[in-house]
Amino acid sequence: MALDDQKGGFKFIGTRPNRPDGLDKVTGRARFGADAHASGMLHAAILRSPHAHARIKKIDTSRAEAAKGVKAIVTRADFTQSLQPAPGMKGENWNILENVMAGDTALYDGHAVAAVAATSALAAKDALKLIEVEYEPLPHVTDVDKAMQADAPVIREGVAAGTVPKGLHPNVAGYHESGHGDVEAGFAEADLVVEDHFVTEATHQGYIEPHACLAQLGADGKGELWCCTQGHWNVQKVCAALLDLETSQLRVTASEIGGGFGGKTAVFIEPVALALSRKANRPVKLVMSRAEVFRATGPTSSTSMDVKIGMKKDGTITAAQGVFRLQGGAFPGAPADMTAMCAFAPYALKNVHQIGYDVMTNRPKQAAYRAPGSPMAAFGVESVIDELCNQLGLDPLDTRLKNASHEGTKASYGPKFQRIGLVETLEAAKAHPHYTAPLKPGQGRGISCGFWFNHGGETAVSLALSEDGTVQLAVGTPDIGGSRASMALMAAEVLGVPYDNIRVIIADTASLGYNEISHGSRVTYASGLATIKAAEDAVKKLCARAAAKWGIPEDAVKWEDGCAVPSGPNAGEFPPMPIAEITRKMGATGGPICGHFEATPEGAGVSFATHIVDSEVDPETGKTSVVRYTVVQDAGKAIHPTYVEGQFQGGAAQGIGWALNEEYIYGEDGRLQNPLFLDYRIPVASDLPMIDTVIVEVPNPGHPYGVRGVGETSICPPLAAIANAVSAAAGVRMRQLPMSPPRILEALEKQAGDG
Amino acid sequence: MRYHTPDNFDEASALAAQASGTTRFLAGGTDVLVQLRSDIVTPDDLIDIKHIPGVREITNEDHGGWRIGVAVSGAEMTEHPRLELDWPGVVEAMDLIGSTQVQGRATLVGNLCNGSPAADAVPALAAAGAHVTVVGPNGSREIAVEDVPTGPGKTCLEKGEVISALHLPRRGHAAGDAYLRFIPRTEMDIAVVGAAINLRLDGDTITEARVALGAVAPTVRLVPKAGAALIGSTLDEAALDKLARAARAACNPIDDRRGTIKFRTKVAGVLAQRAAKIAYARAKGDRK
Ligand SMILES: Cc1cc2nc3c(=O)[nH]c(=O)nc-3n(C[C@H](O)[C@H](O)[C@H](O)COP(=O)(O)OP(=O)(O)OC[C@H]3O[C@@H](n4cnc5c(N)ncnc54)[C@H](O)[C@@H]3O)c2cc1C
């Protein structure tokens, strides 16, 4: 429910029209990654390492090449030779290349080593079996704590960024440290200090559409690529670098996307399909299987964390400290800095200190997953706060309110907060009937706050008016959450034309300037801001045409309800001139009317959420069910409230999976044991309660309508809120995720044994 | 791959006997086709038994028992007007398999012959005392359900043998069965533990009891000692306690991605108790 009193006289913003892609999706007309076809198209398949860590001594493709239907085989030799490894994130293109196709070493179970294009998908798959790879297995490590120990096998020497202190294991690729005040003095002031260790497992974004693309690349270096991605300009840039192409010669079109959640911000198969196409001189289609998605695309980091917080009897936090170790797979880049920076952001603290370690292991390269790094931090921090409240007999919401960050607070990670809405979410949670509803025996309630930065980023939008006064809006950020509806609403608001008169498309890379990936909850903020500005640009031109017709100065015309009107009595008496009247004659009055906007907006407002969860635990089997769930989050301004609520609910649903059952399980052999949805247990519909939502609207001063990103913050509180609820229901503190039934039963037995 | 559609079981058996490579019968295909698509088993001969007359029929036999055709799907069992009145535990076990889509195809015999230790229908069938008729190169034979699986993915069926029907005994009076499984979610999962109980009462006292467990050993297991723990009791606390202990003692599970040895063993006892309570209530006439 949006707050009606803050509607601020909007006509379209805040309404709930159907999404423009709705009919396409429910009728099967929508074209996803695997729906692209081209005549003469080949099908590709990728050979993957069965070893967690192995030197590739030899790859013999001769038998496969001779197989019926096989048209091309590529290995690392078919990609650029001009990239070089470099410490930290400096060598990122080389890292991507190394991940896309292994060099001299297979770094994880599922690492690509070769690929085949053949006349059918079956022929390609069969040909893989004919490729002979000689491996020399190497010692491997998949656990983050073990990977930091002195005797751990080294994934790759010389990766550590300059910020990493001397003396750490070479697997530590990155290091972050920040904070302020004096934590030791703070702990000394506390009446109670709780310190605990927390562990979370890697989880996959679990998008329902596997990665898929269709690539075409000729000997002239000109290419076409259709793929499902969260950011096709990034795909263009990376593919060009990996294949020695000129960026502009490769046109990339983003398909409809069946979920991404951050996992489709990375590049995996596109360069492979392009390399095969170049070699075979035919279009090549490449579609991942689910097992490949699990084994070789980004899960999130697993973590090992230590959190220590001191509190006074009245609930005042005196000091907070955290150490966060993130396992990032066989490459640098785990968001340890984000984890550390988000950990204590909800609280106004005098003394705070946080450290993050980015650690490499023999696992797939971690990829962004909704608010990368933040949910795990909240799990540790909010569990400790819950424990402090329990032991001191304090109300968990009042305690959080007492310490909450607000406008002007020096954030735990440095800057001063502008206008933020944490207090408002806490107050709304407190006022919500859920918070005071009675619990049944065996049930427990948990709450948690969560924080995410949000992001702006490079953005370009273009808008063209048609002769009939309707509008074509081209944005460059793939629609992963209903953003086309929000863009149309914002354009409608500025132009004063009906929502249905606006067609929004996701333009290809040749049609707009660079657009950063749809990540960082930036789309409704940044593309939205650019849409508003582009529409305003068009309005200015529309007014100019009316001014010319009326023979009055341009600034004597204003835009109202889809019409040009004189700006005041002095401007003259003219009847309103509707948009269609202007566009009908635009060819003769100066040519086509378009609006555009290009910028890197910097005003993305940070956002906070508070979640309330009730759970029930079966003490005989350890089985947990979530029986009630309420999400309260600051959206700044909900452009399309239904899709804001959808983001809130989606974050909670994915959080429930992460908290209760989802995990990457590795065997002693370093191989992933559950690369299918059967044993990688995301929640099914019947596992979830109705997830209630409350939209809080504390406008972001950095957006014309006050928008804050909402896509990521919603997954920050669930792990902790559910852990707190389950711990209350089970009567034992759960410090490891997922809280699967065996773990809960184990904890209960341990407690019974100790007691 | 050769695809066959025999008209009768003798022909099906002959085809299987003559086949030299990997052979699979195709009932619902919800195991066979999944294994094929994911490159786990690619049969050389695929013998579709759904074209044999009568395979989709559920018949009440003269002696009062039920004959279930080898292509009868889970959905057809659930929708049958009378089967569930006699064998609610068997029907609920079959109904737990997969989703609506899978229910339209999956069969009891496919579940049995796929040989999974975690197969849901099999403990209920074993507890019910079901048996199968097998047609083979040397004629036909009857085998108790619990004797069919011999290890994960393995059965006692000889080369060329095909199951032609499954039989449930006459239900008789004052009896009830029940099946429960443990999964971490609410559906679409594989049993971490399964427990089936089949009881008969005389007044309040249990006179017959069969207990079978799934997913706690290399095969589904009939546990006579667990049954014996109940006989003569009124399902009082002491009997339930003995039941749980006997069930746990019969467990020989593995640690894997689905559960630990400890967890499976503990929960086997819990589920056996819970299923026993349901079967007992059903035997007393509770048809909820
Ligand atoms: C999405 C999904 C969910 C599932 N969920 C569950 C679940 O919850 N619980 C569960 O137990 N299983 C589950 N399964 C597995 C499967 O559905 C069951 O095992 C099902 O009962 C198999 O029956 P079918 O008729 O499809 O067998 P098929 O796949 O046709 O055959 C299975 C095996 O039985 C053999 N066979 C079939 N008929 C005969 C015969 N007449 N004589 C001799 N051998 C024969 C075949 O050769 C093959 O080896 C699931 C499968 C899927 C795809």
Cβ-contact A586, A592 below 8 angstroms = yes
Give per-residue pLDDT as tens, A363-381. 999 999 999 999 999 999 9
A442: domain CATH number? Answer: 3.30.365.10
Into how many domains does chain A fold? 3
d(CA A705, CA A535): 14
Percent of chain A past pLDDT 90, that is, above it, reads: 97
Count of Cβ atoms closer than 10 Å to residue A600 Cβ: 11
d(CA A99, CA A328): 13
Q: Is A61 helix (H, G, I), strand (E, B) or coil?
A: coil
d(CA A289, CA A277): 20
d(CA A90, CA A265): 18
- Both tokens of residue A406? 């607000």
Which pLDDT belongs to residue B54? 96
Distances (CA, A) of A585 to A468, A502, A503, A593: 10, 20, 21, 11
d(CA A723, CA A745): 15
Query: Is A555 contained in some domain?
Result: yes
Is the confidence at residue A2, as pLDDT, over 50?
A: no
Give per-residue pLDDT as tens, A605-626. 999 999 999 999 999 999 999 9
Mean pLDDT, to the nearest integer, of B229-233? 98
Residue A528 sits in the same domain as residue A473: yes
Query: Is A182 contained in some domain?
Result: no
Which pLDDT belongs to residue A8? 63
> Quick one: which atom of ligand 1 is closest to the CA of B70?
41
Is the confidence at residue B235, as pLDDT, over 70?
A: yes
Q: What is the CA radius of gyration of chain A?
A: 27
Cβ-contact A330, A363 below 8 angstroms = yes
Whether chain B has a CB inside 8 Å of the CB on A745: the answer is yes
Is the confidence at residue B263, as pLDDT, over 70?
A: yes
Measured in Å, residue B161 CA sits from the centre of ligand 1 at 17
Is the confidence at residue A4, as pLDDT, over 70?
A: no
Which pLDDT belongs to residue A17? 98
Whether chain A has a CB inside 8 Å of the CB on B267: the answer is yes
Query: Is A341 contained in some domain?
Result: no
**Residues of chain B positioned with their CB less than 8 A from the CB of A737:** none
Query: What are φ and ψ of residue B128, in 5° steps?
Result: -70, -15
Point out the domain boundary residue: A599, A630, A651.
A599
Residue A106 sits in the same domain as residue A123: yes
CA B269 vs. chain centroid, Å, equals 19
Which pLDDT belongs to residue A753? 87
Residue A118 sits in the same domain as residue A239: yes
Is the confidence at residue A649, as pLDDT, over 90?
A: yes
Measured in Å, residue A336 CA sits from the centre of ligand 1 at 45
Point out the domain boundary residue: A296, A329, A362.
A296
Query: Is A502 contained in some domain?
Result: yes
Residue A637 sits in the same domain as residue A502: no
Assign A88 a pLDDT band (cuts: 50, 70, 90). confident
Is the confidence at residue A301, as pLDDT, over 90?
A: yes
Residue A566 sits in the same domain as residue A638: no
Query: Is A190 contained in some domain?
Result: no
Is the confidence at residue A81, as pLDDT, over 50?
A: yes
Q: What is the CA radius of gyration of chain B?
A: 19
Which pLDDT belongs to residue A5? 44
Query: Is A71 contained in some domain?
Result: yes
Which pLDDT belongs to residue B288? 59
Question: Is residue B164 within 6 Å of ligand 1 at its C-beta?
Answer: no
Which pLDDT belongs to residue A755? 56
Query: Is A322 contained in some domain?
Result: no
Cβ-contact A610, A447 below 8 angstroms = yes
Residue A675 sits in the same domain as residue A735: yes
- Closest by CA to A527, choosing from A485, A483, A493, A497, is A483
CATH code of domain B175-283: 3.30.390.50
Question: Is residue B72 within 6 Å of ligand 1 at its C-beta?
Answer: no
Domain extents in chain B: 175-283
Question: Is residue B74 within 6 Å of ligand 1 at its C-beta?
Answer: no
Whether chain B has a CB inside 8 Å of the CB on A686: the answer is yes
Which pLDDT belongs to residue B38? 83
Mean pLDDT, to the nearest integer, of A253-269? 97
Point out the domain boundary residue: A296, A324, A358.
A296
Distances (CA, A) of A148 to A243, A306, A358, B181, B224: 35, 15, 10, 41, 52
- Both tokens of residue A624? 């947990």
pLDDT, averaged across chain A: 97
Q: By CA distance, what is B263's nearest residue in A? A: A742
Give the residue numbers spanning the domain of A72: 40-139+205-296
Percent of chain B past pLDDT 70, that is, above it, reads: 100
A84: domain CATH number? Answer: 3.90.1170.50
Q: Where do runs of H (alpha helix) occur along A73-182?
A: 92-100, 121-128, 144-147
Assign B97 a pLDDT band (cuts: 50, 70, 90). very high
Residue A724 sits in the same domain as residue A676: yes
Give per-residue pLDDT as tens, A496-552. 999 999 999 999 999 999 999 999 999 999 999 999 999 999 999 999 999 999 999
The residue whose CA has the least distance to atom 3 of ligand 1 is: B98
Count of Cβ atoms closer than 10 Å to residue A690 Cβ: 9
DSSP character string of A673-717: S--STTTS-PPPGGG---EEEEEE----TTSTT-----TTGGGSS
Residue A571 sits in the same domain as residue A666: no
Query: Is A108 contained in some domain?
Result: yes
Whether chain B has a CB inside 8 Å of the CB on A163: the answer is no
CA A642 vs. chain centroid, Å, equals 20
Contacts of A392-398 with CB under 8 Å at 24 or more apart are A392/A191, A392/A192, A392/A311, A392/A313, A392/A315, A394/A315, A396/A447, A396/A724, A397/A426, A397/A429, A397/A430, A397/A435, A397/A447, A397/A610, A398/A315, A398/A430
